[in-house]
Every structure is written in C-alpha cells, then in structure tokens.
Amino acid sequence: MKRNYLLVFPIIIVTLSIITVFSLSGCAVGSSGAADTTTAVTTVSTTAPKTVATTAPSTVASTTETTAFNALQAFNSEVNALVDKITPSVVSIDVVINNSSTNAQNAQGVGSGIIYKEDGYIITNNHVAGDANKITVTLFDGSRHEGTLVGADANTDIAVVKITDTNLIAAKFVSEDTQKVGDFVLAVGSPFGVQQTITNGIISGMDRNVPMSANTLPFVDLIQTDAPINPGNSGGPLVNINGEVIGMNSLGLSTSGSSSGIGFAIPSNTVTAIADEIIKYGSAQLPSMGVSIGDNTSNILGTLLSAVTPGGPADKAGLKAGDIITEFNSEKILNPYDLLGNIIQRQIGDTVAGKYYREGNYSDFSVTLEKRPNNTSTING
C-alpha cells in the first residue's frame, strides 16, 4: 500500500566553515653603524657591519603551514566537543496522522525533538506532533519508544511529548539574550529523516517576526540563521558554542521547498515558558493585557492601543484607547511584535511595569496579566 509522506519541517543543514589562521613572521635586519671619527687623532676607527640573520623561505612556509594546521585541529576539537555534548539530548520523532474524516491515506512525517527533562519530557514543534495519532521517539542510542502527546500550542508552534523511559540526558537551555548576530551556532536534527545530522552556521539576525495565518498569532522574536532549514529538522536545537540550546529550529523560507539559507528558530525563552505551561496545565496558558492593536501613524515610536477590553488588565491599569505603549518590562516597544513577544514570555499573574504616551505626556503604568481568551488568535495583546 502506498503511503503519503509528510516531511514536517524545513531546518538546518550547514556547510562547515573553516577559518584558517595564518601567521606571518618577519626578520629584523641590522644596519652598519656610522664611522666614529675624532679630530685630535689621524687614525679612523670603524665598526664592522652587523651580521644579518635570515630564514630560509622553506622554513617560513613550513611554520605557516604548521600554524594553520594547528588552528584547524583546535577548531575541529571544539566542534567535536559541542557535538558530543548535545547529541545525546536530541531525538528523532516519527508520526502517523490518521485521515479518518477523508478518503485519503494516513500521512507519515518525521521531525526532531529536544530532551527537556530527565524523566521523559521532550519538546518539539506543534507542526511535528500536534496532530499526530501515533508518535515514535528514537533516542541517540537507537532505541525506539512510544510517545504520548502531553499538549501542543499552534500559536507558538510548541508541543511536548512524553516517553516512559527515565534517566535521559536533558539539554541545557539558556536565554537567547546572551547571543549576538554573527555568533557561531550548530543545528542538530533529522533532515529528510537522516538522524543525528549536525550542521553549522551563524546567527544572521535576531528578533525576527513572521506572520503565519489568520488563525494563529504571528511568530515573534525568532532567531534567524543561515544554516539551511530542511524538512525533518523541525523541533531540533539551535546550539551555541557552549553546547547550550538557545532556540528550537522551526521554519525556513524557500520558494523551491529546499533550503535557501534563511531559517528561523523559536527563542529558548519562549520555548521553555510554553513547555512549562503545557507540562503543568496540559496546554499553553498565554497571558494577555486585554487590548486591541491599531496602526500607529504618529511620530511617537510604540504600539497604539485601538481598544481596551472593559474590566481587563489594561483597563484596570488605567490604559485607554489611543494610548501608545513605549516601554514594557524595561524594554523599548517599537511595534506590536515587540509587545506581543514580551507578553508571551511572561506568566499569567505576572505584574509588569511599562510606559505609555497620551496627549503629549509620558506616564508609567503597572499591569497584571490575565489568561488570553481561547478564541483570541490575533496580534492583539
């Protein structure tokens, strides 16, 4: 029987960039001293020319080659250490999606995942496992385990899967705020089902925003990388030079279906915040300010509130329609994506300070976030 194969995620294959360091050595050249004469004596005293030390061209070339080789060897050793550290925490995820409501055959897909907790919790993308009827997790040692979907969130594209195996090697997650554009990164996953594939690149950009559909929130604060994103890499980690997870590979832009060198990872702050909620509640508990966002055409940088929900968090904080949020949680707000990204990374019940502009004046506010209504999937906060 033919099966339809659903390659779930474009992600990261990178060509290893090698930096060769050359050391140039020079030779000091001595010069003859000037004649030392005296007017009282007819004898002239001279200084013999100094001997010039030279190095044979072959010796210089040999030294340069040795230095370059040592640099490459050191680079390889560092990359090997990163790979050894992260690969035991990366899994391959095979899914089956039943199409019982249609006449279509069941679809199969492959993606990746990151071990989050030693007792079997694994983070992956919603588009990998969110609609799966059967989940099979393959660990680093090749062992296969049946997985159970704990919960998934389409708005952030994050899902959590649980297996019964324990004593797993959990990856270390760190804030993406520690990274800068140009930093070296590794990506690990199963592109096209090829398990434990290691690729590399750099961080090409930070705080990227990608609108997805009318039914979900836009993806915000994404990490952009030039590491190729191919189907099957979805859910795998983006790793810094310390072997720490700074994001989860999720999306690639392409006009052909293959990688075009523009890939995106969900930042680790968002990944862990949503995963913790799913593990605790079974679903993402996205917070909200209770506002609608409008088009800010003024010369004041910030996010315009077009409406404030009566009795909602913003209303209780004294905010009104027409206010422009200029700062939130000590961070400058330049557009609606900045505000939304900051809210998503908070918890329900968090009280956050900010600043707003109204009728020529800047003022402070303090808002306590509440749960976002389940039917709210717009950029509104």
CATH code of the domain containing 90: 2.40.10.120
In a domain, 53, yes or no: no
Q: How much is the pLDDT for 259?
A: 65
Mark whether 157 is an active-site residue. yes
Q: Which residue has the higher pLDDT, 228 or 207?
A: 207
Residues 158 and 207 in one domain: yes
Residues 278 and 294 in one domain: no
Classify residue 43: in a domain, yes or no: no
- Residue 73 DSSP label: H
User: Do residues 279 and 319 share a domain?
Assistant: no
Q: Catalytic: 292?
A: no
Q: Are strands 107-115 and 4-7 parallel, antiparallel or unpaired?
A: parallel
Whether 40 is covered by a domain: the verdict is no
pLDDT of residue 367: 96
User: Does position 30 have pLDDT exceeding 70, yes or no?
Assistant: no
From the candidates 92, 234, 259, 288, give the one annotated as an active-site residue.
Answer: 234
Q: What's the burial of 113, exposed, middle or buried (CB within 10 Å: 0-12/13-18/19+)?
A: buried
Residue 34, pLDDT above cutoff 70: no
160 inside domain: yes
Look at residues 257, 284, 311 and tell me which one is the last residue of a structural domain. 284
Domain identity same for 304 and 199: no
Within a domain: 6: yes
Same domain, 187 and 235: yes
pLDDT at 28 over 60: no
The answer as to whether 97 is a domain residue is yes
Residue 254 belongs to what domain range? Answer: 1-17+58-284
Distance of CA 336 to the CA centre of its chain: 21
Last residue of a domain, one of 267, 284, 301: 284
pLDDT (0 to 100) of residue 70: 87
CATH code, domain carrying 308: 2.30.42.10
Distance separating alpha carbons of residues 41 and 146, to the nearest angstrom: 105
pLDDT digits (tens, 9 = 90+) for 325-344: 999 999 999 989 889 888 98
State how many domains the chain has: 2
Beta-sheet strands, E only, within 193-320 = 197-210, 219-225, 237-239, 245-252, 263-267, 287-288, 291-293, 303-308
DSSP conformation class of 173:
B
pLDDT band at 54 (very low <50, low <70, confident <90, very high): low
Instruction: Compute the average pLDDT of residues 236-241.
Output: 95
Give the domain-ending residue among 220, 249, 284.
284
> Among the options 157, 221, 226, 338, which is catalytic?
157
pLDDT band, residue 381 (cuts 50/70/90): low
Indicate whether this model's pTM tops 0.85: no
Q: What's the confidence (pLDDT) of residue 346?
A: 86
Q: Which of 127, 204, 288, 338 is catalytic?
A: 127
91-120 pLDDT, tens digit per residue, is 999 999 887 665 566 788 899 999 999 999
Would you state the pLDDT for residue 251? 85
Residue 131: active-site member: no
Q: What percentage of the chain has pLDDT greater than the value 90?
A: 55
